[in-house]
Amino acid sequence: MSPRVRPGRPGRPGRKARGAAAVVVTALILGAGVAALCLGTPVVPPTELLGPLTGGGDDPRVAVVVGQLRLPRVVLALLAGACLGAAGLVLQEALRNPLAVPEMLGVSAGAALGVAVPLVLSLSLPALLVPSLALVGAALGGGLTLVAAGFGRSPSAVLLTGAAVTAALQAALLVVMVMADQLSLQIIYRYLLGSLSARTWEHVGGVWPWLVLAVPALVLCAPVLSVLRLGDDDASALGVRVHRARLAALGVVVVLIAPVVAVCGPVAWVGFLAPQIARRLDPTGHAVRWLPWSIAWGAAIVLVADLPARLALAPVETPVGAWTALVGVPVGVLLLRSGRRSGRRSARSAAHPDGHPTSVPAPRIPVGPVPGTGKGKS
Amino acid sequence: MKGSGVVVPSPAGRRAGTPPRLPVPRSPLPRLALLFLVVLAVAVADVVAGRAVTPAGVWEVLLGGGDALDRHVVLNLRVPRMLVALVAGACLAVAGLLLQSALRNPLAGPEVTGVTPGAVLGAVVATGFGLADRQSPLAVVIAACLGGLFGAGLLWVLTGRRRDDPTETAVHGVLVSAVLGGLTAMVLLVAPGELGSVVQWLIGTTDGRVWQHWNLLWPWALCWGIAAWLLAGPLTLLRCGEEQAAEAGLDTGRARGAALLCAVALAAGAVSTVGALGFVGLLVPHLALALFGADLRITVPGAALAGAAVVGGADALAQVGGRALAVLWDADRLTLPVGALTTALGAALLLVVVRRSPTRDF
């Protein structure tokens, strides 16, 4: 991984860095996958993995542990990471903001509400309905944001509305949490952090059918994203119906993350980190080239983070989201800082003779309401 | 940068021909008095709202009558709760105003600068590892204060040389808040037994706040409130700009540091008593600035009154709303935490702002 790719020279160094990155991410996924299958109680040596995986093996207990417990967890980690990585990239590109995270669309808060309400109010529901309630909550949260933001009028409106919807749903969650007893609180809290513990093939089955819907949509909307990045005016001058394209992209994001959040909980910062890494490794690329990288890095991040989540405090499991947040945010800050510095350098070097930088102006994140922006500087 | 007319406003020469018209400074006292009346009304409403005792019963108790149960409910539960809500709101609002002025950043509320999450983390750590409990509330306040300083310091280190840029600071503040939230979650996982008693800091609520909390809160708030008012003059200068303030003879570094310390202490006191009340520290200062103008010597008390009115009113509303919800759903244990209400109000305000300026780039 060489972060010092010189901008403005799309020749060999970039390709070399991409090759190295491909090796690194493949090694990470393979190594973490094998480690996740082998480590734990009982420890299965890698040489004996093949037996239990194919259903055979000497010890049926090992076969159950590997095939029914560890393998679905690995698959789910890969799926969740890939979905979050892709969703993060689509969101950041569509809203032109490096800090647009999937958590800000109101999807996670809606899913959390869908988990918490039946748990705390002890509604007697058929067991089949419970996971779909989280899905309904997630879809409602995402849909509410899209409707309230006027179907994707402007990027900052979407972000601010997402923050508002998230805050409102969290307020509702607070009301529920006040009523909860100790046990339900712990379950809700664990869910809120995002956890992969005790997930089986059943849970995997709750995620992958949605991919059938999401993947073709993703492939279709990816090329438009690189045009959207130019800004609304330029994109519409190029013949893109901007509002409709942005709405479609946001819809794809909701379809991508709602099932993941419903099953695993909001695993924090993956959707922020993976696109950042993808962009850093290929600064001259565009959305279509970044998409596979973002997917791969998302999968790698969740898979790697699940190892300490399962093993660090064994036999107690820690939520994987705690690890991604703890490690991910400092890394993300570093990436942002160095990325902006090199970005500024490249903007300066690529500036017009009259001093106007040719690059897209750095998008800014709105944080909180700004009713009196001008008043701050009297 | 010289002589840009900071200390003496000179509107002369804006339009040639018209004589210079000096703005007549309107006295802020009527507005302050009006706001004070609002706070009083809110206080009365907060005492009257709530279940178990009727308004007539409250009146009787306040006149010295009533039966023992009513007396206990009103004098030992409702009155301290009302006082705690008012003072906590005032603390948060003043803390937000100090932060926004010292950092010259309209987005800097205690929630965004890592102060509130840091304070929550401090309180949770102290409780989770057995350093403090209900018997030693002062330890919780001090731990929350240290945590708030830690959060603010982390942001200070992270933003580095570019902390003049408001959005930059806000962006890093959100990240710092996320890290601190993650740390809080880790502590809760290590000490899950404390979860029930710790959640009260994550949710801002005034339920069950009694005289003990009030006795702890008011001296703290009073000291730091006076300190904030003493800092108001220098901060007003600081709002005009770094160079201007330095030229007027202000040691900007020291003034800013003192203001930050004061803001952290105020926010930490409020958080350790009532928990993280969303959006109060971010929005109420803007309300106060709109009402009283940029002279902080008047706006600091104004912000305190406005914060008290907002949180007290939200508390009264939360009690009424909680009662209505309980009747509606026939669930006795349903209560509406005031933090949920302020968060919902802030969210609604945010939506209004977005809808009113759809194309503006924030």
Backbone region of residue B239 per phi and psi (left: phi > 0; alpha: psi in -120 to 50; beta: other values)? alpha
**Is B129:B237 a contact under the CB 8 Å cutoff?**
no
Phi/psi for A86 (5° steps) reads -65, -45
CA dist., res. B38 & res. B44, Å (int): 10
Angle between helices A287-311 and A201-228 (to 10 degrees): 150
Contact check, Cβ <8 Å, B286/A179: no
Cα angle A127-B195-A174, degrees, rounded to a multiple of 5? 65
**Lookup: tokens for A219:** 């492939």
pLDDT at A357 over 60: no
Interface test with A, best of B6, B104, B189, B299 (most A CBs within 10 A): B189
Contact check, Cβ <8 Å, B290/A372: yes
Nearest CA to A298 among A79, A36, A106? Answer: A79
pLDDT digits (tens, 9 = 90+) for A115-171: 888 888 776 666 666 667 888 888 888 888 888 876 656 777 777 788 788 888 888
Give how far the C-alpha of residue A77 lies from the chain's centroid of Cα atoms, to the nearest Å.
12
> Given 1.10.3470.10, 3.30.479.10, 3.40.50.10470, 3.40.190.10, which CATH number is that of B77-349?
1.10.3470.10
B330 touches chain A (CB under 8 A): no
Domain ranges of chain B: 77-349
- Mean pLDDT is highest, among A131-140, A183-192, B294-303, for B294-303
CA of A91: how far to CAs of A94, A143, A228, in Å? 5, 15, 11
B6 touches chain A (CB under 8 A): no
Interface test with A, best of B98, B179, B296, B354 (most A CBs within 10 A): B354
CA dist., res. A187 & res. B84, Å (int): 31
CA dist., res. A273 & res. A333, Å (int): 10
Shortest CB distance from A167 goes to which of B109, B331, B343?
Answer: B343
**Lookup: tokens for A182:** 């100790």
Which residue ranges form the domains of chain A, and what is each CATH number? 21-340 (1.10.3470.10)
Q: State the average pLDDT for chain B.
A: 80
CA dist., res. A147 & res. B189, Å (int): 37
Contact check, Cβ <8 Å, B283/A329: no
Q: What is the 3-state secondary structure (H, E, C) of B116-158?
A: HHHHHHHHHHHHHCCCCCCCCHHHHHHHHHHHHHHHHHHHHHH
Q: Among A202-216, B167-181, B238-252, B299-313, where is mean pLDDT lowest?
A: B167-181
- Closest residue in B to A95 (Cα) is B361
Shortest CB distance from A150 goes to which of B183, B199, B358?
Answer: B358
Nearest CA to B280 among B351, B342, B205, B202? Answer: B342
Cis (ω within 30 of 0) for the bond into A315?
yes
**Is B195:A186 a contact under the CB 8 Å cutoff?**
yes
pLDDT for the residue B163: 61
pLDDT for the residue A347: 42
Contact check, Cβ <8 Å, A372/B106: yes
Contact check, Cβ <8 Å, A171/B199: no
Q: What is the mean pLDDT of residues B246-259?
A: 84
**Is B87:B209 a contact under the CB 8 Å cutoff?**
no
